[in-house]
Amino acid sequence: MIVQTLSGSAGAGQAPADQAETGRTFSGVGVSPGRIIGSILLMPKAVREPAVGEQLVAGTSAEDASALLRTAAKAVQTNLTARSSSASGTGREVLEATALMANDPMLVKAAVKLINNGASAERAIWDAAASVAEMLHNLGGYMAERATDVLDVRGRIVAELRGVPAPGIPYSDTPFVLVGEDLAPADTATLDPAKVMALVTSSGGPQSHTAIIARALGLPAVVAAVGVDSLTDGTLVFVDGAAGTVLVDPGGDEVALAKAWETTTAALAVFDGTGRMKDGHLVPLLSNVGGAKDAVKAAAAGAQGVGLLRTEFCFLERDTEPTIAEQVEAYRGVFDAFPGKKVVVRTLDAGADKPLPFLTDASEPNPALGVRGYRTDFTSPGVLERQLQAIAQATEGTEAQVWVMAPMISTAEEAEHFASLCAAAGLKTPGVMVEVPSAALTSASILEHVDFVSLGTNDLTQYAMAADRQLGPLAGLNTPWQPAVLQLIRLTVAGSRDEGHNKPVGVCGEAAADPALAVVLVGLGVTTLSMTARALSAVAAVLASVTLPEAEQLAKLALTAHSAADARRIVREKLPILNTLGL
Amino acid sequence: MSERTAVIASRVGLHARPAGIFVAAVGELPLEVTIAMAGEPADDAMDASSILSIMSLGASNGDTVVLRAEGEGAEEALDSLVKILETDLDAE
């Protein structure tokens, strides 16, 4: 038969990927639950920088190169304008402005001048845009933020000149499954949750930016699925964000599973605002937020307070420290969303993956082990004290119960010093984060000086396992299911009990958003859980299905498991509700 | 040469969105329009049809800028552009 002959020869030669790959399963790490079927679009690789000093190819005149550049700039402008007309709100305005930049007379003129001096078109636009971006950056404020747009436009023009797909998240009229190597923080801004059905990456770990974005947006996601980026655009896949699998060309079973998930999400959309277990034991469920807008959303989702207010939003992308007045306004917006409820403010956590020009030293050889978090007070004293003053001022006149905690505390002495700074600022409830294993091991001494601790499981895992959280090959090590990490959590709770005042031990890391792990954490003695607002209903539903003694039993099994995978499997097997709900 | 001054009304200054609206309006004119901060020499004026020039001007709320154009219809054209700059485009 002709069809057989065709597919036979295709199989031996250049098979279309979707035929050769039919039924193939890629296994990765499931980082955000959900089961969907969709066709994929690949995230193009970042645009490679043209060689420094790259010259016009012999035989190409400056006029020809300039004409090509103008055509490319115009094409990018047309494309962005077309996209802006189908966007709405802020997205539309940003695209309209970016479209104007693509064919900007100043930018194009500067590039043409470089071409006339012998530079290749790619190198010319690269350098011309770099100078413009630097100039905008130096202007600071709003202009500095636009510098990124100029660099985005530059990448698009170079891609157009090379005839390769534009960088960044691909654009499509219809929803798709985004497949790539890993997402950068900058991609979050352009990720439209109405268009992206699921995220699948070949690299990255459970704490990677991709995972965090996916959980925040409630998108099913699988990371570290090696080889998945060899699929071609348009391939139909089934993504199971709980199991961590991606199946090419799904069949009837998967269609049924995806249908069932739709029903589940509808049922899971509500959290009644009280975290409680089957036996009535209360576990307050709070939310992690990064600003007033987040806080309003979290309150609407039923969060019983804020377990982690990331204050970096006031500081990032700035060249200078924000004033106390600016900070007061920013914090108050969050406090106002939670009258009568607890809001735990984490003081500035700069350094490592969140550098700040006025605080951190970008040349540190090992930033994760460098001057970051609370430690920036050693090198830039004053910033923390002013932030505490701002928090205290913002507290006046609000009804929120404001608690304050410092990140990256390693010793009881540091905790004592932080508590004294809080007292001086008039803040009544000081606490610290437990992210460094030394803090977990000495929590009893630490809690003699502060009123509570909150476990940051992302960093605690990275430090306990000595595994960088962004590295795909270490994804297996970098999970809070590691029995060693669970032991550190157990010891933190034990330290609190030894101290004798039953001071609260919360979790505000990504671990709290995993419904199965949430049960284990409560079983280990953790008193409150704080997570992305999206995860509240799922965690509440699973917690409500077990009693505290059952959770304690599951925690014991996880602690003594031989591996993270075993711990996860054993606990999940004892929680049938997970499978019923597809979590 | 016609000349007009305008006080920037947008609260955040002449940044991406207000600048975009202004540049789009300049682009529709059959004239070459320049923009400069008040007090700066006309020779240093920038191309008003370039959003990047406009942004690099760094004009904040309350700053005075000078628009210049030559040719037929320049007076009316500049009047319409002044109106845009003196509207708080962020408020809309």
B2 touches chain A (CB under 8 A): no
- Which among B12, B19, B56 has the least Cβ separation from residue A139? B56
Report the relative pairing of strands B64-69 and B33-37 from DSSP bridges. Answer: antiparallel
Is residue A154 marked as binding?
A: no
Same domain flag for A328 and A399: yes
- Which among B15, B23, B50 has the least Cβ separation from residue A146? B15
In a domain, A10, yes or no: no
Same domain flag for A212 and A153: no
Q: How many CB pairs below 8 A link A and B?
A: 55
Residue A559's Cβ-count burial label (10 Å; 0-12, 13-18, 19+) is middle
A59's torsion region: left (phi>0), alpha (psi -120 to 50) or beta?
A: left
User: How far apart are alpha carbons A373 and A407 in whole angstroms?
Assistant: 5
- Partner-chain contact B56 A143, CB within 8 Å: yes
**Cα nearest neighbour of B18 on chain A:** A97
Same domain flag for A288 and A423: yes
- The structural domains of chain B, with segments of one domain joined by +, span 2-91
Domain boundary, last residue among A116, A145, A162: A162
Same domain flag for A521 and A553: yes
Q: Evaluate whether A485 touches A514 at the Cβ level (below 8 Å).
A: no
What is the model's pLDDT at position B24?
87
In a domain, A2, yes or no: no
What is the model's pLDDT at position A21?
67
What is the model's pLDDT at position A78?
92
Q: Evaluate whether A57 touches A282 at the Cβ level (below 8 Å).
A: no
User: How far apart are alpha carbons A465 and A458 in whole angstroms?
Assistant: 11
In a domain, A55, yes or no: no
Same domain flag for A313 and A332: yes
- Partner-chain contact B19 A97, CB within 8 Å: yes
Same domain flag for A399 and A484: yes
Looking at CA atoms only, how far is residue A146 from chain B in angstroms?
7
A76 - beta bridge partners? none
Same domain flag for A225 and A294: no
Give chain A's contact residues with B (Cβ, < 8 Å): 93-94, 96-97, 100-101, 104-107, 132, 135-136, 139, 142-143, 146, 149-150
Residues in B touching A84 (Cβ below 8 Å): none
Residues in A touching B15 (Cβ below 8 Å): 142-143, 146
Residues 6+ apart with CB under 8 A from A322: A314, A315, A330
A81's torsion region: left (phi>0), alpha (psi -120 to 50) or beta?
A: alpha
- Partner-chain contact B56 A135, CB within 8 Å: yes
Report the relative pairing of strands A528-531 and A505-507 from DSSP bridges. Answer: parallel
Same domain flag for A402 and A525: yes
CATH number at residue A39: 3.50.30.10
What is the model's pLDDT at position A355?
76
Same domain flag for A431 and A570: yes
Per-residue pLDDT of chain A (583 residues; tens, 9 = 90+): 333 333 333 333 333 444 556 789 999 989 888 999 999 999 988 889 999 999 998 888 999 999 999 999 999 999 888 888 876 666 677 778 888 999 999 999 999 999 999 999 999 999 999 999 998 888 776 677 778 888 889 999 999 999 998 888 888 889 999 999 888 766 766 788 889 999 999 988 777 778 878 887 889 999 999 999 999 999 999 999 988 999 999 999 999 999 988 888 777 767 889 999 999 999 999 999 999 999 999 999 999 999 999 998 888 777 788 999 999 999 999 999 999 999 999 999 988 777 787 787 777 888 889 999 999 999 999 999 999 999 999 999 899 999 999 999 999 999 999 999 999 999 999 999 999 999 999 999 999 999 999 999 999 999 999 998 777 788 889 999 999 999 999 999 999 999 999 999 999 988 999 999 999 999 999 999 999 998 999 999 999 999 999 999 999 999 999 999 999 999 999 998 888 777 8
Same domain flag for A430 and A574: yes
A455: Cα separation from own chain's centroid: 18
Number of structural domains (chain A) is: 3
Output the six-digit token pair for A8.
């036979």
Rg (CA), chain B: 12
What is the model's pLDDT at position A28?
92
List alpha helices for A311-368, DSSP H: 312-315, 324-335
In a domain, A324, yes or no: yes
Assembly ipTM: 0.85
B80 - beta bridge partners? none
H or E element, residue A129: helix A121-139
Same domain flag for A182 and A310: no
Burial A285-323 (b: 16+ CB within 10 A, else e): bbbbbbbbebbbebbebbbbbbbbbbbebbbeeeeebbe
Report the candidate in A379, A375, A370, A323 with the shortest Cα–Cα distance to residue A347: A375
CATH architecture of B2-91: 2-Layer Sandwich (3.30)
Looking at CA atoms only, how far is residue A137 from chain B in angstroms?
10
Task: Determine the structural domain holding residue A118 and report its residue range.
Answer: 62-162
Is residue A469 marked as binding?
A: yes
What is the model's pLDDT at position A4?
35
Looking at CA atoms only, how far is residue B21 from chain A in angstroms?
8
User: How far apart are alpha carbons B33 and B4 in whole angstroms?
Assistant: 11
In a domain, A50, yes or no: no
Dihedral angle, C-alpha A227, A229, A230, A236, nearest 10 °: 110
Per-residue pLDDT of chain B (92 residues; tens, 9 = 90+): 899 999 999 887 887 678 888 998 998 899 999 999 998 888 889 999 999 888 888 888 899 999 999 988 999 999 999 999 998 876 55
- Partner-chain contact A149 B58, CB within 8 Å: no
A211: Cα separation from own chain's centroid: 6
What is the model's pLDDT at position A372?
92
Same domain flag for A433 and A311: yes
Residues 6+ apart with CB under 8 A from A512: A307, A457, A518, A521, A529, A530, A531, A535, A539
- Partner-chain contact B56 A136, CB within 8 Å: yes
Q: Evaluate whether A35 touches A197 at the Cβ level (below 8 Å).
A: no
How distant, in Å, are the alpha carbons of A10, A357, A358 from that of A317?
Answer: 52, 9, 11
Domain boundary, last residue among A221, A237, A266: A266
User: How far apart are alpha carbons A236 and B17 in whole angstroms?
Assistant: 39
Residues in B touching A153 (Cβ below 8 Å): none
φ, ψ at A433 (rounded to 5°): -90, 145
Residues in A touching B49 (Cβ below 8 Å): 105
Q: Report chain A's mean pLDDT, rounded to a whole number.
A: 89
Tens digits of residue pLDDT in A111-138: 999 999 999 999 999 999 999 999 888 8
Is residue A375 marked as binding?
A: no
